[in-house]
Amino acid sequence: MGDGSDPADDAADDAADDAWRRWERAPDDASDDDMARAASAETIYDPNPDGEAPAFAASDAISDAAGAADDDAFAALLRMLRALPGPCAPPIGEGAFDILYASAREIVVWFVPAKDGVAQKEVAIPARLAQRAWEIMRRGEPVDETKLRALAAGAAGGRWLLALFAQLPTVEVRSPSASDGASDSEGASYAVTLVWRGDPAARS
Asked if residue 121 has pLDDT above 90, the reply is yes
104 in any annotated domain: yes
1 in any annotated domain: no
194 vs 184: which has the higher pLDDT: 194
156 in any annotated domain: yes
**pLDDT value, residue 172:** 93
172 vs 28: which has the higher pLDDT: 172
Residue 101: give the domain boundaries: 7-51+64-196
Average pLDDT of span 60-82: 77
Mean pLDDT value across the chain:
75
Domains in the chain: how many in total?
1
pLDDT, tens digit, 9 for 90 and up, residues 26-43: 344 445 554 444 457 889
Average pLDDT of span 43-65: 58
**pLDDT value, residue 108:** 96
Average pLDDT of span 48-57: 53
pTM score, whole prediction: 0.68
190 vs 50: which has the higher pLDDT: 50
**pLDDT value, residue 115:** 87
Rounded to an integer, what distance in angstroms lies between the CA atom of residue 195 and that of residue 165? 10
Beta 41-43 vs 96-102: how paired, if at all? unpaired
**pLDDT value, residue 129:** 95
204 in any annotated domain: no
Taking a C-beta distance cutoff of 8 angstroms, is the pair 166, 173 a contact? yes
**pLDDT value, residue 21:** 41
CB atoms within 10 A of CB 176: 12
For every residue of 91-133, DSSP letters joined together read: SSSS-EEEEEEE-SSEEEEEEE-SSTTPPPEEEEEEHHHHHHH
Positive or negative, the CA dihedral 81, 87, 187, 119 is positive
Residues ≥6 apart with Cβ < 8 Å to 56: 136, 151
CB atoms within 10 A of CB 134: 25
**pLDDT value, residue 61:** 46
Asked if residue 15 has pLDDT above 60, the reply is no
56 in any annotated domain: no
149 in any annotated domain: yes
191 in any annotated domain: yes
176 in any annotated domain: yes
Average pLDDT of span 90-114: 94
